[in-house]
Structure 1
Amino acid sequence: MKPTIRDVAKMAAVSISTVSRVMNAPESVNESKRIRVLEAIEKLQYQPNSFARGLIYNKSFTFGLLIPDIENVFYTGIIRGMQDACIKLGYSLMICNTDRDRHRLLSYIDAFHEKQVDGIVFASDMMFPEYYAKLVRCKIPFVLLSTHSDEFEVPCVEIDDEKAAYDAAKFLVELGHREIGMIGFDHENSISGPPRFQGFARAMMEAGLDGNVKKVKGAAHRFEQAYQAAHELFTEYPGLTAVFCVADEFAMGVISYLKDRNILVPGQVSVVGFDNLRFANMFVPKLTTIAQPMYDMGYRAAEKLHELVTTGKVEVLREKMEHKLIVRESSREK
C-alpha cells in the first residue's frame, strides 16, 4: 500500500503539518525534527501528493496562462520560460488559447476558478473592464505579460514597445534610407500596435521624414495578411527602399512578396522585423529584427505572480525588460 503523509508523521513522531513544512518550507522546522522527517520519507519512499499538499496549504500549486494565439511562435518562448519558472517554484502550468474571443476568455477564467488555480498570467491582450471585474470577483491574483493596463493597477512584464520601434526605425534612417514604410497591426484592440506606430512616427519626424508617417498598412498577425499589406503598401508607394514590420512573421510576408516580384532584399529594399523568433535566423535572408527576451519575460511573469500570490503585492508594479536590435542580412546601407 502506498505510504501516506500520516505514515511519515507517525514514523518521525511529528505532526502532519510538520511533515508538510519540511517538504515546503524546511527552514521553518528545527534540525532534529527535519532530519527525522527526511529519514522517514526516504525509508518509506514517500512521494508527496499535490492534492494533499493543496488541502493543507489551501493552494492548488497551479498557475494558469491565457494566450491569444497558440499557433504564434512568439508564445513558445513565453511558455517555455513560464514552465521552467513554475518547475523551480513548485507549480504546474495550465495553458488556454483564447483566439481573442471574449466569451471564450471569460469561460476560461471560470474554468481556472473551478480548478482553483493560485494565479493567472494574462498575455498579449487588452485588459477589458469585464475581464478585470471577473478576475477580481473570482479573487484570482493575476499578472499581465507583454501587455499592460492604463486603466487598472495591475502588475505587468513587457518591453518598451515605443522605444523598440523607434530604435528599429531610427536604424533604417541611419542606414541612409529616406523612403521608409511600415506594416503594423490593424485590429482595433491591439495593445502593442499603437506604441510601435508611435515609435516609428517619432523616428521619422526627428529625421525630418514626416511624409513617411502615412506610409503604413495594417495586418492581423498572419503571414498571408502581411503579404497582402505589402502589396497595398508598394502599390501605393513603389519608391520605398525600407520597411519596418511590427512582427517577424510580417517581415517574412513582406520579403516573400518582394521576392515574388524580383525585388531584392536587401539589395533594393531593407526589411526590419520585431520579436526575434527562432525562425528569424533561419529565414533567407536572415532577419534584422528587434529581439524581445521572450523566455525571460515568461520566466519573470511566473516569478512576479508567485510574489503576488505569496505576499499579496509586488515590489515592481510595471516591469520593463530590455529589447535589443539584432542586425542580420535583411538590411543594408542605402
Structure 2
Amino acid sequence: MVTIRDVALKAKTSIATVSRVINNKPGFSEETKQKVQQAMKELDYETNEIARSLITNKTNTIGVIVPNIASMLTHDLLNGIENLSQSRKYSIIVCYTYSNHERTMEYLKTLKEKRVDGIIFTSENLTDKNIEYIKKINIPIVLLSTFSEKYKLPFVKVDDYQASYAAVEYLIGKGHKNIGMLSGDPNDKIAGEPRIKGYKDALKKHHLFSNEEHIVVGNNFSFEDGRTNLVTLLEKFPEMTAIFSASDEMAAGAIATAHEKKINIPEELSIIGYDNILVSQMVYPPLTTIEQPLYDMGYTAAEMLFQQIDEKELINKEVYLPFKIIERESVKVMDSL
C-alpha cells in the first residue's frame, strides 16, 4: 500500500509538507504543491480518511435522517444537501427511519459511532429521548422541513400555516365556496395541524362554512391516502367543487381516483396540491400547487450545519423560506365570477 512517506520520497520533500498539501494547510509553494500532487497521481495514492480524522477530529461525513427515502420530497431535499456537501468534499450517510422512533434512536447511535461531523434531521418529530441523546453526544444538528416546539434547535422550513392559508384563499379567489381538504395526521405538529388550521382560518376569514366532515385525514400524505380518501370526502361533501390537498402525492392519488370515477378535473372538481414535486407536472391535468423550495431548503440546511462544524459552535437559527403558488391546469375559475 502506498503511504504518505512514499509520496514524500517521490516528490523529494518532507512528510510534513505532503500532509500540509493534502490537508490544504499553508506553508508550501505552488511548485511544491504541483510536485506533491503529481507524485500522488503517479503512485495512485489515496488519502486515508480514517487516519486523517484522528488528526483533524473530522470525518468529512454528515448524517441525514429521513422518514421515507422513496419520497419525491425527500429526493429534492437530498439534492440540495448533496450538492453543497460535495462541493465541501463531504460524504453523506442517509438513514431511513420509516417514521419509527426506535429506529431513529438506533440511527442516532450509529451516526455517533461513525463519528459524523453533523446531522440533518428531516420531516418528522424528534422525541424528548432523541433530543436528550443529541445533547449528550454534542453533535451539530439542523432540522429540515420540521422544527421542535419544546427545544430551541436551528431549522429550515416553509411556514405551513401561511402556505395552506394561501392555497385556500387561491381557491376562494377563483370563485370556489365549497372547499374540502385531504390532510395527513392532524396530530402531526409539523405538517398536519398547521395545514389544517390554515385551511380553516382562510374559510373563516371569508365567512365560508367549515365543517370537520369536510376534512378527511390520512396516515402519511401518500398517494394511496389520496386515492382512498377522495371517495370518503365526496360521500361526506357531495356539493364540494374544490379540494386543498396537503401534499402533491395525495393530490395525484385523488386525481387517479377521479379519472376512474369519470369525474373531470378541473371542470367538475378543482384540486390544488402542496410541495411542487415532480409528480405535480406528471399528472393530468398538471397540478396547480404550493411550491416548497425543496432544493433550496436542503442546501440552506447544509449551509447552516457546515457553519456549526466550521465555527465549532452551536447556532440557534430559524429560517423560513418563501413559498409560492405554481399555476397549472387543475383549478377552474367558477362561472359566478
When normalised by structure 1's length, the TM-score is: 0.92
Q: What residue is the counterpart of 2:131 in the other structure?
A: 132
In structure 2, C-alpha distance between the alignment counterparts of 1:243 and 1:250, rounded to whole Å = 11
Q: Provide Cα deviations, 1:30-66, integer angstroms capped at 9, x if missing partner.
A: 453x541332221342432322321221111111111
In structure 1, C-alpha distance between the alignment counterparts of 2:24 and 2:257, rounded to whole Å = 57
DSSP-derived class of the 1:181 partner: strand
Greater shift, 104-113 or 185-194, is seen at 185-194
| Residues 1:50 and 2:49 aligned together | yes
1:215 Cα shift? 1.5
Q: What residue is the counterpart of 1:289 in the other structure?
A: 289
In structure 2, C-alpha distance between the alignment counterparts of 1:321 and 1:38, rounded to whole Å = 43
Q: What residue is the counterpart of 1:224 in the other structure?
A: 224
Q: What residue is the counterpart of 1:154 in the other structure?
A: 153
| Residues 1:36 and 2:32 aligned together | yes
Q: What residue is the counterpart of 2:164 in the other structure?
A: 165
1:178 Cα shift? 0.3
DSSP-derived class of the 2:285 partner: coil
1:212 Cα shift? 5.2
Is this contact kept in 2: 1:204–1:213, CA < 8 A? no
Q: What residue is the counterpart of 1:280 in the other structure?
A: 280
DSSP-derived class of the 1:69 partner: coil
| Residues 1:301 and 2:307 aligned together | no
Query: What is the letter of the counterpart of residue 310 of structure 2?
Result: T
Is this contact kept in 1: 2:213–2:237, CA < 8 A? no
1:273 Cα shift? 0.5
Query: What is the letter of the counterpart of residue 137 of structure 2?
Result: C
Q: Considering only aligned residues, what root-mean-square deviation do their CA atoms show, in Å? A: 2.0
| Residues 1:71 and 2:70 aligned together | yes
Q: Provide Cα deviations, 1:104-132, integer angstroms capped at 9, x if missing partner.
A: 11111111111111111100011211111
Greater shift, 235-244 or 132-141, is seen at 132-141
Query: What is the letter of the counterpart of residue 253 of structure 2?
Result: G
In structure 2, C-alpha distance between the alignment counterparts of 1:224 and 1:47, rounded to whole Å = 47
Greater shift, 318-327 or 45-54, is seen at 45-54
In structure 1, C-alpha distance between the alignment counterparts of 2:51 and 2:31, rounded to whole Å = 22
Q: Specify every segment of 5 or more residues in structure 2 that has no aligned partner in the other structure, as ranges.
A: none
1:88 Cα shift? 0.6
Q: What residue is the counterpart of 2:121 in the other structure?
A: 122
Query: What is the letter of the counterpart of residue 275 of structure 2?
Result: D
Q: What residue is the counterpart of 2:326 in the other structure?
A: 326
Alpha-carbon spacing, 1:201–1:286, altered in 2? closer, same or farther (3 Å)? same
Q: Provide Cα deviations, 1:149-187, integer angstroms capped at 9, x if missing partner.
A: 121111111111111111111100000000001111126
Alpha-carbon spacing, 1:25–1:199, altered in 2? closer, same or farther (3 Å)? farther
Is this contact kept in 2: 1:265–1:330, CA < 8 A? yes
1:12 Cα shift? 5.6
Alpha-carbon spacing, 1:201–1:25, altered in 2? closer, same or farther (3 Å)? farther
In structure 2, C-alpha distance between the alignment counterparts of 1:87 and 1:12, rounded to whole Å = 32
In structure 2, C-alpha distance between the alignment counterparts of 1:129 and 1:315, rounded to whole Å = 20
Query: What is the letter of the counterpart of residue 263 of structure 1?
Result: I
Q: Specify every segment of 5 or more residues in structure 1 that has no aligned partner in the other structure, as ranges.
A: none
The number of residue pairs the alignment matches comes to 329
DSSP-derived class of the 1:297 partner: helix
Q: How does 1:153-302 map to 2 (within 5 A)?
A: 153-186=152-185, 188-211=187-210, 215-220=214-219, 221-302=221-302
Q: How does 1:62-101 map to 2 (within 5 A)?
A: 62-101=61-100
When normalised by structure 2's length, the TM-score is: 0.91
Is this contact kept in 2: 1:204–1:212, CA < 8 A? no
Identity %: 34
Is this contact kept in 2: 1:179–1:212, CA < 8 A? no
Q: Provide Cα deviations, 1:223-258, integer angstroms capped at 9, x if missing partner.
A: 222222211111011000000001011111222222
